[in-house]
Structure formats: C-alpha cells, structure tokens
Amino acid sequence: MPLTDRIRAQAAALGFDLVGVSPAAPVPTFDRYREWLARGYHGDMAYLSRVDRVARRGDPTRILPGVCSVVSVGLNYYPGSLPPEVADDPARGRFSRYAWGGDYHDLILPRLKRLAEFIIAESGGEGEYRAYVDTGPVLERAYAAQAGLGFIGKSTNLINPRFGPWLFLGEILLTVELEPTPPPPLPSCGNCRRCLDACPTGALTAPYLLDARRCLSYLTIEARGAIPIELRPRLGNRVYGCDVCLEVCPWSRFARPTDEDALRPSSPEEAAPPLVELMRLDEAAFRQRYRGTPIYRLKRRGLLRNVAVALGNWGDPAAIPALTAALHDPEPLIREHAAWALAQIGAGRR
C-alpha cells in the first residue's frame, strides 16, 4: 500500500474525517493575509501581526528547518441542533456549536502527534515534526484547501461538500517528503452570498473578506475589553461565538452529527443554559462548570460581560436581581455591562 494510502488509513483509524498532503511552500494567498493585517481587520489580536509570527506564516521553514510536507486533517464537529423550545428561548444563552462539548485541542492534538509519529516510522524512522490545532503560525485553511480538504468560501471558512463548514482543522509540518494529494474537482460558492447577507453585524465586508472587529465571534471571545455599545444589540442572546454564516451556508444541508461523543453536549440545557443562571456564577462555579471546555479560556469576566449584554437584549425584568447584584462584582468589565443591561431593561419598561 502506498504511504499516502497508509496515512489515510491511519488518520481514519484515529478518528479524523479528512486528511491530505501539500508541499511545505508559502501559500499563494499570503499577500492577501498581509493586506488583511494592514487594514487592521485583526482588531486586538496583536499576536497575528507580530513580525516574527507573520514571517513564520509566510515561510514554514522558519517554524521547522528542513520542512518538506504539510499534512492537514479535518474533524467533523457538527453536534446537531437543539430542540426549538430550547434554541428559540431568548432567556437562554446561545453558544457556538463548537463549544457545546469538550475542548477540541485536548481531543485533536494527541491524535495529530500519533499520526505524525506513525508517518515518521513508516518513512524510515527519521524526521521531525510540529503539530498544531489553530494555535500555531500556520495559515491552516490555505494548506487544507491545497491538500484537497475543501474550498474556502465567501465566509472565509473552509467548506467540504460532505460536511459543510463544520470542521476542526489540524496540521503536521514534517521534514519527511510526502507525495502531495492533488485537490479533487471542488465546487465553489458561485453567486451565493447568503453568509454576507445574514451576518448580524456586516462583518463580511466583501466576499472572502472578514473584518474581525465587527464579527460576533471576535467580540464575544477574542476581544478582551468592552463590547462597542452600537454593536451590543446585535449580539441578541449570543454569549460565546456566532454560527450564523455556518448555519445559512447551503452546504450545511449535508452536515451530519459528529461521531465524537466528547464534542456533543450532555443535554440540550447544558448547550443553552439560562442567562440568569450564568449571571450568578462566581469564580469557583465558573471554573467547575467550564474547565475542560473552550469556554474556559474566555474566563469568567468575559463570559459574564457577554451574558450581561444578552440579558439587556432580552429585556425581561426577571433579569434585574442578577444584574443588580453584578453591579457589585469585583470586575469593572462586568459592572459596566450590567449597568448597560439594566438601563436597557429600564428603557423598555417606560
């Protein structure tokens, strides 16, 4: 069996849904990445524009000297949908589907390392590697597209015809020379612009161009300070991320639930808990509840900032006691957003 086929078989045995190989050469879209940074569209994510990190994204040999190949993998994380009575309840917080279960880094990275060690062993036992799950200086969607895992859509997400846009990506940089897997004929977005039209904040300023500063995923996860007042009503009851551009994508009709139990919620209520309940979380309760999940990296101050905005958007007086208590929270960020929410509820009652 050719090595590429053995790699495919091993990747499948490890639970990956997609795998492909591309040369470890600078990606053709690197100049577009530089232009994106020059526009300031990365917002407060200063690590993206650091000179050393930009250089490494442009030249993988700066990450791993002697690198020859990039192995890209994809893992379907689509957990399905919530019952309408839960999903449509404005008193519940909405979390991006990728955060309904456990932390995907803990799931994927050990498997990537096992795959890398398998490849090195099958190639004669010599070689080095670096493995990343969205934390390394690698333009992962570009390499995944080159390896045939899918095409990059107007939403800037990688889209696979079998799984839609619901994919976690991982990469292995190897000093082993592997035969590339040429991309199969893939479709494109054509004239479709559903993601652009549906984006709650207009963050998709043009096809294939995202202004992260307006993206609800950025605002609720990556942004560390106050959420701009003019954008707060656009959050609705979203408290962690946003799936709108994924949900409206026509390719999502092919999505099927993941086989990974760890990526599914223990119950519908756990995926969309009551906002008032979240607003009452102290530090110990937050850690106990969200340790081992993607939400943990947001920290309590970030989550309760978002929850306060969602309660203000809900506008129900039932939220007043929890928000009033939050006015005395030791975190200024929480206090400020709780005061805004109370003002919203008060304005709605007049």
Q: Which residues are catalytic?
A: 134
Task: Please tell me the distance from the alpha carbon of residue 345 to that of residue 264, in angstroms, as a whole number.
Answer: 34
CB atoms within 10 A of CB 275: 29
Strand order in the sheet with 129-132: 18-23, 69-76, 167-174, 129-132
Task: Please tell me the distance from the alpha carbon of residue 221 to that of residue 303, in angstroms, as a whole number.
Answer: 8
Contact status, residue 268 vs residue 82, Cβ threshold 8 Å? yes
Alpha helix (H) residue ranges in the chain? 3-13, 30-38, 51-58, 84-87, 104-122, 140-146, 194-198, 216-217, 244-247, 268-271, 275-279, 283-290, 299-314, 320-326, 332-349
Task: Please tell me the distance from the alpha carbon of residue 328 to that of residue 278, in angstroms, as a whole number.
Answer: 16
Task: Please tell me the distance from the alpha carbon of residue 275 to that of residue 92, in angstroms, as a whole number.
Answer: 5
Q: Return the sign of the alpha-carbon dihedral for residues 123, 124, 125, 130.
A: negative
CB atoms within 10 A of CB 329: 19
Going by C-alpha positions, the residue among 152, 238, 170 that lies closest to residue 201 is 238
Pairing of strands 151-152, 158-159: antiparallel
